[in-house]
Chains A and B, each alone.
Chain A
Amino acid sequence: MTPRILMLGWELSPHHSGGLGVACRGLLSALSKSFSVTFILPFFPNNRKESLRIISAFSSPVTPPSAYLPSHAAPLPALNSLFSRVREFAKRVSELAENESFDIIHAHDWLTLEAGMRIKRETGKPLVAHIHATEFDRTGGTGVNSHVYAIEQQGMQEADLVIAVSNYTKQLIVKHYGIPPKNITVVHNAVEVKSFPQPDSLRIAEHSPLVAFVGRLTLQKGVDYFLRAAQRVLEFYPNTMFVIAGTGDMELQLVRQAIDLGISQRVIFTGFLSNEEIRSIMEVATVTVMPSVSEPFGIVPLESLVAGTPVIISKQSGVSEVLAHALKVDFWDVEEIAHNIMSVLSYPALHKELAQNGRKNALARTWNNAAQDCINAYHSINIEHMLSEGRSQAQAFYGGLF
């Protein structure tokens, strides 16, 4: 018998606003190949094509603020409504769980940890807390919301195992949340290789090389450093175009910054884009930059490499641990970011080697690998957990394993 997994998430690709939805989809698909997985999230539009077991907790979508809004940036009433939504979700999941058979609770990020803890208390099943981002990443370390922090910490303390998306995140969890390193397993994310229709040609790319930023426009993503690097590049390569693909709470501020820097004519803010549109941008761009201030993992660089475009990534990121074939920068080193952008623009041989080797590098990490890492992690906790409840149960659970 293989373990049955109850997975709790807040969003799921293709209906997602960030990397959490992409990562949950990748893991869910890979795990479902050999395990029974039920995925509960606040709301998922009815989709008959969906072969996976996905349950909506509510009948309508969660209204903003999104999961990603740094709590200090959100207006208080919106924040309170998010907190009450999180509590309602926990209550609703606990009702839904009564009808589900499962052996493990696997909860993604603080938004679902309250639900995870509640079911663990009610059923005694082991809880895995999968941390994709902490409050410290979202806020850049200043203005950490004590309520969010408390849920994160309690969730990780009550969990039988914490999964971190990188060593970078593991260290942060040890340092800021006091969780013993032995309780944390690192499972790096991966990239899903999807086939896309032939992208629309972007006329703008016919005359100018494009430098892309893809992601939410929040403090965490370091977009302001991207703009300052753009200004420096434009001093030398005035023909370059900079594309900022995404939306977020910093959007207006960034548009103003581009104007103040005198580069607004060379910067395109795309607003919200579909996955296909993002893929088009990535395909025509000369290079994609991820200057995150604090990035627990960062799937965008992997997606860019799969699309054939080399990447410049922040050293303050988890993806940097699995990506050797990339240019790496400190997010605050604007000169270095500019220097690297110009290098890729100047030297075709560099572009080609980074793109080719980077693509191989990105494809080497699959969601099947990540799922296997999770399974190994389940086994490590479950053996102990089951043994404490009696060996016969453990034997029943693992069948041939013993």
Chain B
Amino acid sequence: MPSVCFYFQVHQPFRLSRYRIFDIGKNHNYFSDTSQTSSDNQYILERVSRKCYLPMNALLLETLRKYPETCFSFSFSGVLLEQLERWQPHVLNSFRELVKTGRVEVLAETSHHSFSFLSSLQEFREQVALHQEMISRIFGVIPRVFRGTELMYSNSLAQEVSQLGYHGMLTEGADRVLGWQSPNYLYSSTASIPLLLKNYRLSDDIAFRFSEQSWSSWPLQASTFANWISQTPQEEHVVNLFMDYETFGEHQWKETGIFSFMKQLPQELLLRKVNFLTPSEAFRRFSPVAPLNIPDVLSWADTERDLSAWLDNEMQKDAFSRLYKMEDSVRKTNNPALLEDWRRLQTSDHFYYMCTKWFADGDVHKYFNAHESPYEAYIAFMNVTRDMEWRLQEASERSKTCVPKSVIPS
């Protein structure tokens, strides 16, 4: 009997305001845009809450109550939880309601939705610990399964995650890793931690193609989709449907029928005797069929399924290395505000905004950009890192009672 495992990623970054060179050394509020546009964090959170989180949480709660066989899993970034606590506490409560049912698993990740693992093991471990504290404080649960930022994965990350004591990991079922093999089995890492792989075809049918009128299956009916799932070969373990939670109501608007689709889907799946599983249950129930050797970093983005959407062009590499160069100086100051600002800059979205791949074609990258162009995203980010450097210099020179020099080079 086939099974499905739903995992929803819930995340909002602290977007940078249009921080100009003139602001360096004068204004240290990097994330406080109030323009009611794409870089205004509070405004966006309110919109996403209204269009997605609240209606979708209500829908899932009703589903869980109506169908005791159903279950789901979520991963919340720490930066999202912080924004919810500050600006939308009632939305956070509605997430708590879901977790309280006992049939919603919460996953582990880095507090700041970062790629810190690539640059600093210490920072990675601290962020994982921070995230765990937050989840336990807010939801009263301890996550047992790990998902890397943007489903990033590699042998060495799996090794580290396994050492941290997690029971399993999620990642992308990329063709270049699987080849002819199906994503619907459990696999294991080279460090023998079990893995669930995203079935990107079926996941993307919901997340991306749902409203695409040129798609042969448009408009997609819940019964059709449930048929596809139920046609999975009997011997396969579980179909992993992994997607951004913002798919519901934000990426796919209410008018596309996404909510009625999701309302009908559980019933249609149960009618066809499809099981619901959380990642932990899947790891308990099945044994890995084969090890996967993945030396290069994998992700769930674009056709390349690598990190090229975040860390490919000169600007992205420059911004990333400049940020992590600061690590020691930031730690030395023992200044919590500086540390927190530095961590917020690590959120993957900032690097995504700098992506120039297909920028001219006005594709998905442009749509999700908090800035007008990848260039403006980079400029704002670099100016902020300069201000950070200015603050670091000021802090170090204050201890020597010297006047700070400007960090603007001539």
| Residues of A near any B CB (own CB < 8 A) | 236-239, 324-325, 327-328, 335, 339-340, 342-343, 346-350, 352-354, 357, 361
Contact = CB atoms under 8 A, between A and B. Distances in A.
A325 B356 contact: yes
B364 interface: no
B356 A347 contact: no
Give the 8 A-B residue pairs with the shortest CB-CB distance, closest first. Answer: A324-B360, A349-B318, A349-B314, A343-B379, A339-B20, A349-B315, A342-B21, A352-B314
Contacts of B360: 324-325, 361
Interface in B363-381: 372-376, 378-379
Interface in B351-410: 356, 359-360, 372-376, 378-379, 382-383, 408-410
B75 to A, nearest CB: 32
A346 B382 contact: yes
Nearest to A341: B21
A353 B21 contact: no
B21 A343 contact: yes
B314 A236 contact: no
A364 to B, nearest CB: 8
20 contacts: A324-B360, A325-B356, A325-B375, A328-B372, A343-B379, A343-B383, A347-B378, A347-B379, A347-B382, A348-B314, A349-B313, A349-B317, A349-B319, A350-B378, A350-B379, A353-B313, A353-B314, A353-B374, A353-B378, A354-B375
A357 to B, nearest CB: 5
B60 to A, nearest CB: 39
Contacts of B374: 353
A353 B315 contact: yes
B356 A357 contact: yes
Contacts of B180: none
B378 A349 contact: yes
Contacts of B375: 325, 327, 350, 353-354
Nearest to B374: A353
Given A343-B379, A349-B378, A238 B359 contact: no
B21 A339 contact: yes
A311 B21 CA distance: 18
- Interface of B (DSSP majority class): helix
A239 B373 contact: no
A328 B383 CA distance: 18
A263 to B, nearest CB: 16
Given A327-B375, A347-B378, A353-B375, A237 B20 contact: no
State which size class the interface on B falls in. Answer: 20 to 34
A357 B312 CA distance: 14
A335 B313 contact: no
Contacts of B319: 349
Interface string B297-335: 000000000000000011101110000000000000000
Contact of A339 (B22, B315, B317, B410): B22
Contacts of B379: 339-340, 343, 347, 350
A328 B410 CA distance: 24
A347 to B, nearest CB: 6
Given A346-B382, A349-B378, A350-B378, A324 B318 contact: no
Contacts of B410: 236-239
Contacts of B20: 335, 339
Given A335-B20, A339-B22, 8 more contacts: A236-B408, A328-B372, A328-B373, A343-B21, A347-B379, A349-B315, A353-B315, A361-B360
B350 to A, nearest CB: 14
A325 B359 contact: yes
B390 to A, nearest CB: 14
A357 B375 CA distance: 11
A327 B314 CA distance: 17
B408 A324 contact: no
Nearest to A232: B22
Contacts of B372: 328
B184 to A, nearest CB: 40
Interface in B1-47: 20-22
Contact of B318 (A325, A328, A339, A347): A347
A94 B372 CA distance: 50
A363 to B, nearest CB: 12
B215 to A, nearest CB: 27
Nearest to A354: B375
A43 B215 CA distance: 58
Counting chain B CB atoms within 10 Å of each CB, the highest count among A325, A346, A348, A349 belongs to: A349
A320 to B, nearest CB: 12
B22 A335 contact: yes
Nearest to A361: B360
B9 to A, nearest CB: 29
Contacts of A349: 313-315, 317-319, 378
Contacts of A353: 313-315, 356, 374-375, 378
Nearest to B24: A236
B408 A327 contact: no
Nearest to B21: A342
Contacts of B356: 325, 353, 357
A236 B409 CA distance: 9
Contacts of A324: 359-360, 373
Nearest to B360: A324
Contacts of B409: 346
Nearest to B408: A236
A339 B319 CA distance: 18
